[in-house]
Structure 1
Amino acid sequence: MNDVINILPDHVANQIAAGEVINRPSSVVKELIDNSIDAKSTAIKILIENGGKKSIQIIDNGFGMTINDAKIAFKRHSTSKLKSTSDLFSINTKGFRGEALCSISSISIVELKTRQLNDEFSLNFIIENNLFKDEKFDLSPKGTSITVKNLFYNVPARRKFLKSDSVELKYIIDEVQRASISHPEIHFIFYNNKTEIFNFKPKNLKSRILDVFGKKIDEMLVPISEKTPVINISGYILKPEFARKSKPIQFFFVNKRFIKSSFFNHSVLSAFEGLLRDGYRPGYFLFFEVKNDSIDINIHPNKIEVKFENEQSIYSILKASIKHSLGIFSVIPAIDFDYKSEFDSSNKKLQKNIKPPTIEINSNFNPFISKDKEIKNETFFKIESKSFKNFDEKLDNTNTKIFQIMEKYIVCNIQSKLLIINQERAHQRILYEKFLREITQESISTQKLLIPLKFEFPKSFHLNKIRVELEESGFLFGNHDNESFEITGIPSNIDKENTETIVYDIINSVENESETDNTSIVDMIAKSLSKKNAVGKKTLKKVEQERILDDLFCCKENLISPFGKKIFFSLTINEIDNKFKI
């Protein structure tokens, strides 16, 4: 049998290898910008035509290349960043594999201009199919300019799979934005079809973020900063109310290198637990600073996958840091009423003669007559209050006002902001936690029914799916068969007329598997009870408004209702002032 294995020609091998590094115009832009950053550039200009298919030009003011370096740079596995295997474990540059320029020149026509600071002239030549042509010298400025024309012109199978110009342009803009955010000290200028798209001048990180995403993002940002022996974390997270269901703003950078990590994204998501609606994802700009020898970035040619030596520790530090920042910067609001100096015991007051207290007796006092009798009889006050100590006295502060608008919202001004609370959702949260606490702590009592309630259910439904947990929740069962069952007792905090709706809601939820696997029957009951008993659109008395506010901020979770909806929002004085600016 004849030999069938052949060694591929260099130009074919290069085109195959190029597919691992360069898969679309944005890959070219990324690799060339990385080289410009490694060359210590302070200004980078990007010029694109036809979504990068026709032309990509990157111009920088870095330290340039010598004639020999310029020619060697386009050979495979040629790099200035590695000299030995040990260098792979302490990489501090963007590029290091020595594949990008060789891959680009094998699938396009490349024009290079480069000049070092002390050179009299700049070197200019064209590379096509890895062959050098038209070498000459001119007076181009210091730095390097690389123009890539007709990408994939000699690999038509790859070129036909490119998307439309607008889609390819979007990918390119994404790459430029990542680079500009990770290096706010560099001046980035971007042109598409000779039209300037953006011009990001050197600024600090926050200003660069505002340049990229607009000034409206300013109110969304919460700074984060944490320094530990394992990792330094800095950057910004977005407030929970600005989370998105799709296309969230999410950026991870490790030693100023953009990466993607589902593992650390899960850490961020867990830090926001209880603050986001179902399906929403938080935004962030997070910068990790670690020792170069504690990470491995030689995982994939695209260099956005990184392995960490202390992955689990970083996960925990990141989660704790985000929770800390959310608390410090009042994303979870505090009751910060005005401080009153009269509560301060000064030395001067202590020097005064102390008079014994006087005792006053009200001979008309009758303990069996209550002024709040009417209020106590209202259904609303079935809630047991667990108030902050002296909370009512604080609410009586003359600088604090509580009032209701549109029979739906409670408005309260505190020292630094104005709170607008949805009274129904707040009451749902209060009742939900109350019912859940009663059920789980086995303190709920049962009221027996004179006439049992009969329920029918589908043949495919198994009563045992819900019976145990319903019994633990205060329900009593009577006779039952394959199609129906009787309830002879219900929890004391449930009205008989609501029982039918609540039980059928639970049956339907379990039968249709509409709830997630980790949602218990107890949780469904608490949600159903809170929804049925919560106050809706109704005029509330002042004491009722105060009670809702009091009980809400005693809840373990006071930002969202049991159904994942926002309970309130706050306005700072600056945000209010901005509404009146023209």
Structure 2
Amino acid sequence: NSKIIKQEACAANEGTSISMKNLFFNVPARRNFLKSNAAEMRHIVEEFIRVSMAFPDRFFSLTSNGQEVFHLEAGSSKQRIVQILGSSYNAKLVAVAEDTDYMNISGFIGKPETARKTRGDQYFFVNNRYIKSAYLNHAVNAAFDGMIPKDSFPSYVLYIDLDPAQIDINVHPTKQEIKFEDEKIIYAFVQAAIKHALAQFSIAPSLDFSLNASIQGLDAVNKPFTSDQQQAAVSSSLYKTFSQKHQAHFIEPNEKSDLSSWKDFFKASEGSVIKDEGPASIQLETAIQKNKTTDFTQLIQIHNTYIVATVQKGFLLVHQQLAHERILYEKYSAVAHHMQAATQKSLFPVTLELVGSDAVLLTELLPELQIIGYQIEPFGQNSFVIQGVPADVSAGGMCKQQSIKAGQPMDQKEMSFLVESLFACTTPNINPNGNPTYIEFKEDYLERMFGR
């Protein structure tokens, strides 16, 4: 009841012990604002991970309901990262270490293959304090540009040490956002440090073809190449032009092309032109109104992202990823609102080893996953066993279906199934976020474009 009963010296273990139980038991108004036990536990785990990563030389332990969730022995930064993120990261970490007069950057970044679809394993620490910074996160993503997919995010744990006078921590109630005196310098240092680390470990090419200001001060740039130097270079035995007889390949002189047979160039492709089948095609409006699938017999994929489908008076340009999002959304919405999906038992159950925060999140989502047909059971500390998947989709089919993204090639059968499934939806023209899934090009519009 917030009363001090006794205050005296006592024997206790070294360190700090924090215990939380019966929170707000005598303040109902505050207690009502608490979320579920799983949600609150997830917040505790997130804060625990941040503090333990900031001080890897300290021992940390977290216990929930009598069960020890984390037992982190004191060690190096890499050991602490492996303890928290899992042993699979042990061989997938690249060290980052750059020391300057202005600031020091250290830590580890994950190799490109550790990139994930979410921003979970991303940690910035400034003077051993966890911060969130979209600006610095952009610097990390820019350093990984071209090495990971556009919809993936790299993993990193970076420590920045600099003069406290260069930062202002009083810009956020929880101190998780800070303001740097010169953000551009921090951005440049972070990006350069990560690029250097990737190049040093032969993950990225170390050659940089961008203009370097330090090169402008070299004598070779400042002093022009005089005619005397040029004549001396030509007379040298090392000077050989491509026009000499020792040239590797003889190049025939360019002759005037014969353009008389230009019409034959287009005859070879006539067999592959998709033609409108007339009665076999169905008006798009009719397909949407009657909620019937259209018989798309021939489809073309462009840039592994768009699907061209012919209709009676024009054609459709379908975005395969947005169309797939609409299909999955209506499928799982129908299951969630009407009945529990049937589950297909797995002959060989799959065991998952998750990070502590991900394990807490999965525990919270187990009831919802069971509704859509997944049977997942806890299997020890941070481990789960997948006993079954939705019955209407096999494990391999589900994996392949979930991976339909922009940039993935598809065969004729897959494209046909995707387009037909799209127009079987109640709202096929937009995805769950409101973006169009296809664009219709009518014949009269095309005629106007060509001035007909």
- Interval of TM-score (by shorter of Structure 1 and Structure 2): 0.3 to 0.5
- Structure 1 or 2, whichever has the larger Rg, is 1
TM-score between the two structures when normalised by the length of structure 1: 0.37
- Relative to the length of structure 2, the TM-score reads 0.47
